[in-house]
Structure 1
């Protein structure tokens, strides 16, 4: 096998998100003394990415190595993987383009990170390739962007607060703040959501194959929330968060429980906040229409071909504007309940402590996501000896337990802190 040459290779560098990952890598590579290259299908477009990134970062990137690779060419993916220690895969939707890259990385000894928020893809990769990745000593870590590093970090942070006992349950509340230009969504993200929802039934049989044995039930489950409720914790109206956080976190919990890190499973329920009851009604109405259209081929055609109209301009094929990105930020509030001692839990007692933490970060899709992805990659390169799992297809929570992930994120503008810590 060809000796590995670059610490990081950004595959899909010409994509909308990939360009932001290039900016982040060039900054972190200087901090961490990392070598890197970019990869994609078109040499001219890749050269343009480096030229534009040089202007944005005020760094000369024109001599950065370029690799030509295409998901339709196995040989090109193999050559790319042979030259990488870690491949940062930014080519989505992953349900269509992810598997060939994963396979090439496993076969050629490169670790693979992606920023997918697609449960079907993520769980299929674990089902098909976990054993092979372990056999080849390769890490395949999905969901290393907004989906789902902030959620996983909140859980890990609370676990540390209950390290003398046991975390029992967590609710998270996502609140997005936007400026006058509003929020923008890149078309590829929207396209992934359309295909993911239209194929959601795949998950039932997939999860039965992936996890034939259920986890033990939680001793004292959280009270059931309604689909729309006012949260006393964040003083806002809330709805269930429909992203992949819940599925990713539960895979982490299962991994940690199987490894003995957790003595009992942890409940996790993610929610998103809206500014008013009227906003909640609008969101629910759009969700119902979106879900209905996803069920048929005609509906999906309408959603994908008239996205700009159906989303009132929020989805754009060119991605959100710089003004929209700069004006957006988010917070995630985590409310964790748990036990001060394992003795109390083992004797059937109720959780006796509540810790509330808050994560605050810049725009989620194109600022926080590259930060999370690149810091995850830096840990794989610098801290593999600290990782409990050295190989396999993993979630961020399973992969980065016991590492400096939270400290690294805090140092790169994704900050988490304790808001309150009380006995209940």
Structure 2
């Protein structure tokens, strides 16, 4: 039976047998009845897909409730099978990474079949390449391709959106401070994320050319320069905002947020904000150890032999943080994240986004985003509810399609409320 759009399914979880995919399936299982959606799971191994459904039903307390969910056999290396999957559904939630290797065939098939595509990539080269290559095609097809819909970079993107809503004035700049808290059993992250980081760093030189092409084609009007530029802090500093030691955050948040600001300024005539991103650690010693390990990682990822060793021994070179098996359920349930976002600006609000304030900023606001385990619980909540928002709030999203960042796509939708209803807190931190 087809949906009103002529598709059999509203959404398909692709890569459902992976570590992240399992948690995404469970999140869909919790809400699909109340949201009245028809869905399916997809991947290479049909038996494993059925096992995922059985385990997911048990884990969410709905034993046997997923027996009717369809299973689609798809191999990301088989373009025909990917296209066949895409044309059956309105939206694909893609958890098959690293996206540098496996992402584009799914995006290409979604664009060709007129299907929305969301993923949880935190890989700037992949994200920016997809926007450069498929923006116009996706727009013509009337569909949205939105990456970074996981821990990278929903807390930062929607946190900044929330801050701008509450600021009541013009925001000049924001600084984000990410903090992760592990439970007594520690934490692990799956090998795919580690591999993405290795090859993202190895090919970082690609970004300069990609960004020039993006600026030449999609973002032709450069962001106006503020009279009060936001300076990047040092490689190690103690912040008054979070009352602790911090280092630069090397994830994709800043690059994703900047593209949101460029889209808003070029296409929606919105005033952009400056942004810097940092990582808040528990102590000065933790910062020093992290910096030391990051230096080793950078040196090794820059050559073929080093990359081989990093992939061969992920646990050793990450001090046990990354593994091929991923975390236990006990580890995941005790972990959490906090993203503190500090904004500065003016009480006065200027009409033209190119006009610049002449006086120093006279206002500041800090908001805090909190949630459960970042890599799996929070990421699955983010991805699934970004997907539901795309299906149900298309009239509130900008334009009629395209390859967008989350901040550009969801700023005026119901996503914030959806996330809050699933235990993601957005809090104004009153002084």
Task: Report the TM-score range of the alignment, normalised by the length of the smaller protein.
Answer: over 0.9
Separation in structure 1 between the aligned mates of residue 270 and residue 379 of structure 2, nearest angstrom: 28
How much does 1:230 deviate? 0.2
Instruction: Rate the CA distance shift 1:402–1:54 in 2: closer, same or farther, 3 A.
Output: same
Cα separation, 2, equivalents of 1:123 and 1:288: 25
Question: Which residue in 1 is equivalent to 2:8?
Answer: 5
Note the aligned Cα RMSD (angstroms).
1.6
For 2:283, the equivalent position in structure 1 comes to 276
| Equivalent of 1:220 in 215, 223, 228 | 228
Listed one character per residue, the Cα deviations across residues 248-292 of structure 1 (whole Å, up to 9, x for unaligned) are 0000010111124423x3111111111111111100000000000
8 Å contact from structure 2 (residues 370, 424) kept in 1: yes
Q: Deviations over 1:114-136 (max 9, x none)?
A: 00000000000001000000111
Q: Does 1:211 align with 2:215?
A: yes
Q: Equivalent residue for 1:72? A: 77
2:249 corresponds to 1:249: no
Q: Distance in 2 between matches of 1:92 and 1:109?
A: 22
* Rounded Cα–Cα distance in structure 2 between residues aligned with 1:402 and 1:261: 15
- Give the counterpart of 2:348 among 341, 344, 353: 341
Q: Deviations over 1:206-241 (max 9, x none)?
A: 111111343222221124411100001111100010
Q: Is the 8 A contact 1:388 1:401 kept in 2?
A: no
Displacement of 1:31 in angstroms is 2.2
Q: How does 1:15-414 map to 2 (within 5 A)?
A: 15-59=18-62, 60-162=65-167, 164-212=168-216, 213=220, 214-263=222-271, 265-343=272-350, 346-414=356-424
Q: Secondary structure at the match of 2:40?
A: strand
Secondary structure, in 3 states, of the residue corresponding to 2:429? strand
Deviation of 1:343 after TM superposition, in Å, equals 4.1
TM-score normalised per structure 1: 0.96
CA distance in 2, matches of 1:58, 1:325: 18
| Residue aligned with 2:227, SS | coil
- Contact kept in structure 1, 2:226 and 2:356, CA below 8 Å: no
For residue 11 of structure 1, report the CA deviation from its aligned partner.
0.4
Segments of 5+ residues of structure 1 without an aligned counterpart are none
CA contact (8 A) 2:92 2:117 kept: yes
* Whole-Å separation in 1 of the counterparts to 2:269 and 2:184: 45
Task: Give distance in 2, aligned partners of 1:161 and 1:221.
Answer: 22
Q: Give, in angstroms, the shift of residue 403 of structure 1.
A: 0.8
Cα displacement (A) at 1:183: 1.9
Aligned mates of 1:343, 1:257 — CA distance in 2:
14
Equivalent pair of 1:28/1:374 in contact (CA under 8 Å): no
Query: Number of residues paired by the alignment?
Result: 419
Decide which moves more: 195-204 or 222-231: 222-231
The DSSP-based 3-state class of the residue aligned with 1:420 is coil
SS in 2 for 1:332: strand
Contact 1:40 / 1:70 at 8 angstroms: preserved in 2? Answer: yes
What is the CA distance between 1:168 and its match in structure 2? 1.0
Measure the CA separation in 2 of the matches of 1:189 and 1:204: 23
What is the Cα deviation at residue 347 of structure 1?
A: 4.6
